[in-house]
A and B are shown apart, each in its own frame.
Chain A
Amino acid sequence: MDEPAIEVEGLAKRFGSTRVLEDVTFKVPCGQTFAFLGRNGAGKTTTILMLLGLLRASAGRVRVLGLDPRRQAMEIRRRVGYVAEEQVMFGWMRVSQILSFIAPFYPKWDPDYAQELAQRFELPMKHRVNHLSKGQNRRLALLLALAHRPELVILDDPTLGLDPIMRKEFLRDIVEHLQGRGVTVFFSSHLLYEIEPVADVVAILDRGVIVKQSATEQLREEAKQLVMSLEDYNKVGGFPGTLDVKRDGNRVAVVVENADAALTVARAASVKPQVSGLNLDEIFEAYVIGRTDGQVGPKPAVERVA
Chain B
Amino acid sequence: MGKLVRSLLWKEWREQRWKLAFGSVTLAAFTGVGLQARLVPDEYIVLLTSFVGGWLLPVFVAMGLVAAERGEGSLHTLLALPARPWVVLAVKLLVGAAACLAPLAASAGIACLLAGGREMHVPVIVARHAASAMIAMCVLVWTVSLSIRQPTEARAGLMGAAIVLVIVLGIPGSGRTERLYFVDYLNPGLVMRLMDSLQLGTYLLTQIALAAFLFWLALLRLPRHVSSRI
A88 at the binding interface (Cβ < 8 Å)? yes
Minimal Cβ-Cβ distance residue in A for B78: A90
**Which of A40-48, A63-71, A282-290 lines the interface with chain B?**
A40-48
B73 at the binding interface (Cβ < 8 Å)? yes
Of the candidates B2, B6, B82, B226, the one whose C-beta lies within 8 Å of that of A78 is B82
A88 engages B72 (CB within 8 Å): yes
**Which of B9-17, B45-53, B120-128 lines the interface with chain A?**
B9-17
Q: Report the tally of A-B residue pairs with Cβ distances under 8 A.
A: 71
Question: How many whole Å from B222's CB to the nearest CB in chain A?
Answer: 11
> What does the 1/0 interface line of B14-42 toward A look like (CB < 8 Å)?
11000000000000000000000000000
A77 at the binding interface (Cβ < 8 Å)? yes
Of the candidates A43, A89, A104, the one whose C-beta lies within 8 Å of that of B77 is A89
Residues of A79-117 at the interface with B, using a CB-CB cut-off of 8 Å, are 82, 84, 86-93, 100-106
Which secondary structure dominates chain B's binding surface?
helix
Residues A101 and B10 in contact in the complex (CB < 8 Å), given A49-B226, A92-B15: yes
> What does the 1/0 interface line of A263-279 toward B look like (CB < 8 Å)?
00000000000000000
A74 at the binding interface (Cβ < 8 Å)? yes
B168 at the binding interface (Cβ < 8 Å)? no
Residue total for B at the interface (Cβ-Cβ under 8 A) = 26
Of the candidates A75, A82, A92, the one whose C-beta lies within 8 Å of that of B14 is A92
Query: In the assembled complex, which residues on chain B have CB atoms less than 8 Å from the CB atom of A45?
Result: 226, 229-230
Of the candidates A74, A78, A87, the one whose C-beta lies within 8 Å of that of B84 is A74
Minimal Cβ-Cβ distance residue in B for A15: B227
Query: In the assembled complex, which residues on chain B have CB atoms less than 8 Å from the CB atom of A91?
Result: 72, 74
B197 at the binding interface (Cβ < 8 Å)? no
Residues A105 and B81 in contact in the complex (CB < 8 Å), given A84-B76, A88-B76, A90-B11: yes
Query: In the assembled complex, which residues on chain A have CB atoms less than 8 Å from the CB atom of B80?
Result: 52, 54, 77, 82, 84
B223 at the binding interface (Cβ < 8 Å)? yes
B166 at the binding interface (Cβ < 8 Å)? no
Question: How many whole Å from B145's CB to the nearest CB in chain A?
Answer: 20
**What is the interface of chain B, defined by CB distance below 8 A to chain A?**
2-4, 6-7, 10-11, 14-15, 72-74, 76-77, 79-84, 223, 226-230
Q: List 16 A-B contacts (CB under 8 A).
A: A20-B230, A42-B230, A44-B230, A45-B229, A77-B80, A77-B82, A78-B82, A88-B74, A88-B76, A90-B74, A91-B74, A93-B14, A101-B7, A102-B7, A105-B81, A105-B82
**What is the interface of chain A, defined by CB distance below 8 A to chain B?**
15, 20, 41-46, 49, 52, 54-55, 74-75, 77-78, 82, 84, 86-93, 100-106
